[in-house]
Structure 1
Amino acid sequence: MSMSTDMRRKLPIGIQNFEFLRSEGYLYIDKTALIYRLVTKGKPYFLSRPRRFGKSLLLSTLEAYFKGKKELFKGLAIEQLEQNWYEYPVLHLSLNAEKYDSRERLEKMLELQLEKWEEMYGVDKGTMTYSGRFSTVIRRACEQTGRRVVVLVDEYDKPMLQTFDNPDLQEDFRKTLTAFYTVLKDADPYLQFVFITGVTKFAQMGIFSTLNQLNDISLDLEYNTLCGMTCAEIEATFASELQALAAQAGITYAQAVEQLTRRYDGYRFTPEKEFTPMYNPFSVLNALAKSRFDDYWFASGTPTFLVEMLKRTDFDLRQLDGIEVSSASLTDDRANLANPVPMIYQSGYLTIKSYDNEFREYTLSFPNEEVKYGFLNFAAPFYTPVSSTDTSFYIGKFVRELRSGDIEAFLNRLTCFFADFPYELNVKTERHYQVVFYLVFKLMGQFTQAEVRTAKGRADAVVKTADYIYVFEFKLNGTAKEALKQIDEKGYLLPYTADGRQVVKVGVAFDAEKRNLGEWLIE
């Protein structure tokens, strides 16, 4: 295939319909061997994955398979595996599209869906409840077709996720949906296959508490690669797009893969050691289609409710990078405002970095640079005086000053930065200021090597530019002189003595009265 025709290959960005994808000639990463394993090994499944990770396409693929559309699977693994291609009645319910801000919205959505099915299978709704109608449709579909029914539910938790700020409405939704989903337990004899997806698990929000027969495969090694892309899949399917991306960025093919990895890889959906790290499919497809690295997944939906949760719980942002949690809390029963971490994990802003089998403890961290910097940039305005549009502007100025060796200008800007805090923030604790320092230095890492202290025995912050290495020590209760002394006595400079760059020590005292930087000394 020549490069010019190659360049016009169709990448399935945001395409969630398998039939459309296949009949219109879009590229597809073949997941059908795993799908065959799913359909032959079990019946009721639950899968939690972050948004834009291919859950809807997976359900659409299952639908095409169960409708017996063999022609769509030509050339895919399942074509060889499946002999029968029976056609089953499929009830596909998606809660994805709507904005659920009132009881009527959810009811209207369920009403439309039920009416469509009732028309299809000749059911008279009479005066039945939603759950009564759902139950009747399942039974009638089975009787009419002589085959058991397949039920696919996409984004089951969308109405719940949109109502965190309205507990009464959330409870109302929970009751309605619980009654609706519970039908699946009693209808079991009429069901061939059930697959439910969502972002959150929360013993499924209490919604599926009665559906205890669901097989939750969210953390199964076997299905770790069911949604998302592996490095091998990307290189095998998109070689020419990778070459175009490298050419556009003026880097080598290997560097392009490395940058793709740094920015979009790093998801791990299982505690087992022999996992394959997964790339975010939405970001990868966008970067390849546009031949440009950018924060695609992050920009496609902002985690406002998460940051609101963090603020309400006075959560220390610094803990997110490398936080340890018990395995029980990761599959927590309730969407718990006091413990936002499971929610942040399930939403895709944190991922599993390691698992301690003995103590049943996960270490979580940001999966990659897109998520880390996206999240911190997004959080910055909630903790600092800058607006979201100004964050990178501010950070860019900080970096330029350090690159040019103008540490005075940097510290003066930092002082102005703190002085701009709205009055209500000024009653904040010392920890609030530590979080702000953390954000400033962490965000500088987008442009230059910056480390913020996470372990004892390290300086508060270290920033490396082409010509300088800055070692910062901030004293909340002490003098600038003591800060410099600590840099010397604790040997913070030792790792950098052999480095050819100029090492600059910066000791800063914090003025509790002014709630700002006080004096500083530079050596």
Structure 2
Amino acid sequence: MNTPRKLPIGVQSFEKLRRAGYLYIDKTSFLWQLVQVSSPYFLSRPRRFGKSLFLSTLAAYFRGQKELFKGLYLEKAEEEQAAQENRTPWQAYPVLYLDFNTENYNDEKSMHTILHTHLVQWEKQYETDTSEQTFSSRFKGIIRRAYQQTGKQVVILVDEYDKPLLQTMGVNEELNEHYRNTLKAFYSVIKTCDQYIRFAFLTGVTKFSKISIFSDLNNLKDISLHESYAGMCGITQKELETNFQPEIQALAEKQKLDYAQALAALKQWYDGYLFHPAGEGMYNPYSILNAFDDKELKSYWFGTGTPTFLVNFLKEAHYYIPDLDGNVELDEEGLQTYRAVAQDALPILFQAGYLTIKEYIGDLKLYRLGFPNNEVRYGFLRNLLPVYSDVPFGQTGVWVGRFIQDIRKGNVDEFMGRMQAIIASIPYDDFPKAKLKLREQNYQAAVYLVFELMGQFVQTEVHCSTGRADAVVITADSVYIFEFKLSGNGSAEDALNQIQKNHYAERYKADGKKIVLIGSSFDEETRTIKDWKTEVWEG
């Protein structure tokens, strides 16, 4: 019996990973490229995408821990360059490593505790100056003294710089503002102490903008959308197939798939992140490793956090929900907007990994965004449905399951009754009568979300353009074609006639399945589905 290999699930320490013999995909060529210059860098990636591990790898290199790099790209590169430059290889530098991962930032004291704890630790190494009272002045003094005492420039590594900001965003704006002002002063030290710094690298989820906390640190190089570093975090298709063959085979056997089918399923569920239009698609490493460990395809990454304030922002902004699946357009400035507000939640959705680049329109310099994969698509839509209806949070799967059971059994009346109840639950007072279109948009969003979420279990197509049925659901033996008429635009009979007149069913007749046409009308007075009519064509 083969012993399973050690998968580094949740391992963020490079030293622990290497000493304990965990499987490691060599990313040290990216590190080597970065350390050739001393510019401070910033990298934005979604949570659980390998940022902390990469930062830990940088720390090991700058501490001169040669033994950890045995057999990796960096081992040979460092030795060769040291010989060329006539210097000693694997030189150790003073490393200041600031980690924001270990705290919940629900009050002002939380972030102050993190900063103070790190500063005290460094002051024990490089002495204390009692005249330095503020966080920024203490940080500046530590950098200067570390340089003077060691004779080596300092390395500064900051992990998840924006965690205090993300946890308070949309929850406590006053505290969020205080955190931004504190961090702005703190990080400005990196520029003022430039002569003492060998290298600086900051990671986070959200990108900075010129009006954000890095405005004084204008020499910071953002490599988040740089083609050369697009593969720094995450797993490429080649890396997946080269490094995980035993795990892919074990998953395939457990799920009763062949090897090619298992690869296709992994790609559909966890691939698709793109950090440069010309870069490679990246797999989410957290989800992939968990899928291999469990030998199941589930929503691992999405289950670790719910962007509640973001889904609420989308509703407040009256955003057209179907566009999230591949029709969001932003320019480069839009992608790097820092602050999330109800009118501008899309940049944070991109930066946090809920949307990714699907296409770059070069002549217009526009990025078209959409969900990266099925894990994110269905996870995000599951969180949206309760916002547009009275479906309880955490119960979306149960409700969608009931729709699926109805349709599989051919119970159209039960299916439409459930749809009627969901639409009736949408708050009537959200918009005045003068904003009828916005009210209709909420009704349409609820219908869209139900059908899209059904796509996890049966084949569905949801259309929102003229000349095509509103929704189609295909089961093992039947095809259901839906047409909805809203706000006086026609009766259920009219909707049924539209399906017939426009020949929506023609493309499905060759399959030999039963075809069920469902026309439905909407009653503005009762604010839900008024009635529906069906017609059945036997295959």
TM over 0.5: yes
Instruction: Show the 5 A alignment for 1:149-160.
Output: 149-160=154-165
Residue 55 to residue 409, structure 1, CA distance change in 2 (3 Å): same
Amino acid at match of 1:416: A
Matching of residue 346 in structure 1 with residue 351 in structure 2: yes
The answer for unaligned runs of 5 or more in structure 1 is none
Matched, 1:308 2:312: yes
d(CA) in 1 for partners of 2:103, 2:59:
21
What SS class does the counterpart of residue 206 from structure 2 fall into?
A: coil
**Counterpart residue identity of residue 129, structure 2:** D
Question: Partners in 2 of 1:410 and 1:425 — Cα distance?
Answer: 26
Contact 1:202–1:335 (CA<8 Å) still a contact in 2? no
Q: Do the aligned residues in 2 keep the contact of 1:202 with 1:334 (CA within 8 Å)? A: no
TM-score (norm 2): 0.93
Question: Which residue identity lines up with residue 421 of structure 2 in the other structure?
Answer: C
For the 8 Å contact 2:518–2:532, the answer to whether it is kept is yes
Shift of 1:109: 1.0
Paired residue secondary structure (2:499): helix
CA pair 433-253 structure 1, distance change in 2 beyond 3 A: same
Counterparts in 2 of 1:343-422, with a 5 A limit?
343-421=348-426
Q: 1:377 to 1:16 in 2, by over 3 A?
A: same
Using the TM superposition, give the Cα deviation of residue 214 of structure 1 relative to its aligned residue in structure 2, in angstroms.
1.0
Separation in 2 of the partners of 1:155 and 1:56? 8
Match of 2:472, SS state, is strand
Q: Counterpart of 2:354 in 1: which secondary structure?
A: coil
The answer to whether structure 1 residue 329 and structure 2 residue 327 are counterparts is no
- Tell me how far apart the structure 2 counterparts of residues 32 and 333 of structure 1 sit (CA, whole Å): 29
Question: What are the equivalent positions in structure 2 for 1:498-509 lying under 5 Å apart?
Answer: 498-509=510-521
Change (3 A) 1:38 1:506: same
Judged with a 3 Å threshold, the aligned counterparts in structure 2 of structure 1 residues 256 and 354 are, in CA distance, closer, same or farther, namely same
Change (3 A) 1:15 1:205: farther
Q: 1:205 and 1:27 mapped to 2: Cα distance?
A: 41
Whichever residue aligns with residue 292 of structure 2, its letter is L
**Deviation of residue 488 (structure 1)?**
2.7
Verify the 8 A CA contact 2:11 2:17 in the aligned structure 1: yes
Greater Cα shift, 434-443 or 512-521: 512-521
CA spacing shift, 1:196–1:149, aligned 2, 3 Å: same
Residue 262 (structure 1) shift: 0.6
Residue 459 of structure 1 is matched in structure 2 by 469
Matched, 1:76 2:72: yes
Q: TM-score, normalised by structure 1?
A: 0.95
1:395–1:440 contact (8 Å) kept in structure 2: yes
Q: 1:456 to 1:189 in 2, by over 3 A?
A: farther
Deviation at residue 425 of structure 1 after TM alignment: 6.2
- C-alpha distance in 1, partners of 2:271/2:145? 45
In structure 1, what is the equivalent of residue 2 of structure 2? Answer: 4
Pick the aligned partner of 1:64 from 56, 60, 67: 60
The SS at the match of 1:153 is strand
Residue 296 of structure 2 aligns to which amino acid in structure 1?
Answer: R
* One-letter amino acid of the structure 2 residue matched with residue 468 of structure 1: S
How do 1:171-182 residues align onto structure 2 when only pairs under 5 Å count?
171-182=177-188
In 2, Cα distance between equivalents of 1:335 and 1:520: 41
Measured after TM superposition, the shift of residue 412 of structure 1 is 2.0
The answer for the alignment partner of 1:128 in structure 2 is 133
Deviation track 1:80-136 (CA, whole Å, cap 9, x = no partner) reads 111211111110111122111111111111111000001111233434211111011
Q: Aligned partners of 1:355, 1:409: CA distance in 2, in Å?
A: 44
Which of residues 209, 212, 219 in structure 1 aligns to 2:215? 209
What is the deviation of 1:308? Answer: 2.6
Task: Work out whether residues 332 and 365 of structure 2, in 8 Å CA contact, stay in contact via their aligned partners in 1.
Answer: yes
1:486 partnered with 2:491? no
Q: Which amino acid aligns with 1:314?
A: H
Judge conservation of contact 1:69–1:85 (CA < 8 Å) in 2: yes
Residue of structure 1 in register with 2:252 after alignment = 246
Partner SS, residue 257 of structure 1? helix
Task: Give the aligned partner of residue 471 of structure 1.
Answer: 481
Aligned counterparts of 1:375 and 1:333: Cα–Cα separation in 2: 21
Q: Distance in 2 between matches of 1:190 and 1:234?
A: 40
Q: Tell me how far 1:24 sits from its aligned partner.
A: 0.8
> Once superposed, which parts of structure 1, at least 4 consecutive aligned residues long, lie more than 6 Å away?
425-428
Shift of 1:203: 0.8
Amino acid at match of 1:193: F
Distance in 2 between residues matched to 1:10 and 1:98, nearest whole Å: 28
Corresponding position: 1:88 with 2:93: yes
Identity across the alignment (%): 50
Whole-Å separation in 1 of the counterparts to 2:382 and 2:299:
11
Partner of 1:262: 268
RMSD between aligned residues: 1.7
Query: Match of 2:188, SS?
Result: helix
8 Å CA contact retained: 1:204, 1:333: no
Structure 2 partner of 1:28 = 24
Q: Which residue of 2 aligns with 1:445?
A: 455
